[in-house]
A = this chain, B = another copy of it.
Amino acid sequence: MKFKSPPVNSLSLDFLTEFCISLEKLENDRACRGVVITSAIPKIFSSGLDITEMCGKSMEHYAEFWRAVQEMWLRLYSSNMVTLAVINGSSPAGGCLVALSCDYRIMAENPKYTIGLNEAQLGIVAPFWFKDTFVNVVGQRVAERSLQLGSLYPAPEALKFGIVDELVPEEKLQEKATAVMAQWLALPDHARQITKSMMRKTLLDRLVAHREEDIKNFTSFVSKESIQKSLHMYMEMLKKKKS
């Protein structure tokens, strides 16, 4: 599965909806046992949640958007397929979440590409299930420090802190992905799936149990004047950068 939503694969409502539909199709396709998630856009895996969806919209829109973000994570984190993130570019915030939710992460060996949950730098807070997904990958300490600082790690540091599992020269990513997928698919599906579910169930159940509350938190937080202001400023900054 190749993300291709120019210019930066930001996770808009449309993009998330399509992503979920694709995942569901593959999930129900018995011939498909694994999925590789990567980007068709050079230098960027995914820029994360689309900030335009969080700016100057109605409460209903915020709620619909957030439900789509939750849905994407619930499907991806609980997928019965082998999920492999091939991170061939930068991957901040929501883009990092997509990668963290896979079973294995290979990143291009390029220190210009960064990855991390940098929400704090934007003045916003990663929700508890972003945090818990992160803790499940890197442990409590690295998560606490990284989330507070909103750290974006260049690929070599991302490997050091365990955010990704392996670095590979960019031109060898595909070859490596094929080898890793083959290794995972060599296992009997049934045992692998039950094992995965056993490891992830607590966290998945937590969001399912608090889903509406989490939506309320998001909508009331994002609609605050101060937050709207800083998101606007951030968007202006991005626009200037582009031009």
Report A180-234 residues with CB < 8 Å from chain B CB. Answer: 183-184, 187-188, 190-192, 194-196, 198-200, 226, 230
Contact, CB under 8 Å: B188 / A140: no
Say yes or no: is A107 at the interface (Cβ < 8 Å to chain B).
Answer: no
**Which one, B120, B137, B144, contacts A136 given CB within 8 A?**
B144
Copies of this protein in the complex: 3
Contact, CB under 8 Å: A184 / B141: no
Known: A123-B191, A191-B120, A198-B131. A137 touches B148 (CB 8 A): no
**Which one, B141, B184, B200, contacts A138 given CB within 8 A?**
B141
Contact, CB under 8 Å: B195 / A147: yes
Say yes or no: is A23 at the interface (Cβ < 8 Å to chain B).
Answer: no
Question: Can you name 15 A-B pairs with beta carbons within 8 Å?
Answer: A103-B145, A120-B187, A121-B191, A123-B188, A123-B190, A125-B194, A125-B195, A131-B198, A137-B140, A139-B139, A140-B199, A144-B199, A149-B184, A149-B187, A149-B192
